[in-house]
Structure 1
């Protein structure tokens, strides 16, 4: 899918600030014949990490700053099943940044062939020191990098 096709989907917060196209494969399917719920959570993390890297906040920057964002809480609403062979698009937006210790990231998973939203999710991310894992104030690079892309 190209950018125009992605932007034309029915997104909750307008065109996503970052997205991934996902192809459902055999390894994603559970005993019920649809994508396993744990796989969806791994896709949330993948799109979040991809967005961080695109913002210049990859592992090298994290270690240089001795800061990282770690998941504190995931909320996932599974709205429709997805199946082997489905092409999906996962979009993400940063909807809160307290500019101190936490951000909130929202996600939406759309199946373009029928426009169905299969999932909506939200993750609360907390800034920690890489060397200790303890909560620490965001460095200026995180405050400016993780700017709101869709305030709620």
Structure 2
């Protein structure tokens, strides 16, 4: 099986499909994928950004584009892989791939646009140059 080429600065986490993730079709509900995409982005941010400055920034989703390719089933271990391809102005463009860990089968892929806000005013703020280094270096 070919492994896709990922940027060196990707972040990976493993999750396991739980009973509460399963819908009436007996697979993970599509809403759970959205949550996994968002949680993976948050986990990457918390792993990459210095703890001392994390409270100085607030990220909100502007839009999600998600392609569901194959179902995840109860007990499946999933590999969530994310990377930030660009940070311009107030916007960050992030990619997430969710694969079944045992065989690498791609189940879902997403692209999200995030906006950086000032926590006190909740208004957009320009992304500092050093932030790109935090999220685009290996964690």
Extract unaligned runs of 5+ from structure 1: 1-7
Partner of 2:11: 18
1:74 is paired with a residue whose SS is strand
Q: Indicate the RMSD between aligned Cα atoms, in angstroms.
A: 2.3
Partner of 1:52: 45
- Report which stretch shifted further, 136-145 or 20-29: 136-145
C-alpha displacement of 1:72: 0.6
Partner of 2:87: 97
| Large movers: runs of 4+ above 3 Å | 146-149
1:15–1:69 Cα change, 3 Å? same
Partner of 1:62: 54
Equivalent residues of 2:11, 2:83 under 8 A apart:
yes
Partner of 1:74: 64
Asked which structure has the greater RCO (Cα within 8 Å, sep 6+), the reply is 2
TM-score (norm 1): 0.80
TM-score (norm 2): 0.86
Partner of 1:126: 115
- Aligned positions, number: 138
Extract unaligned runs of 5+ from structure 2: none
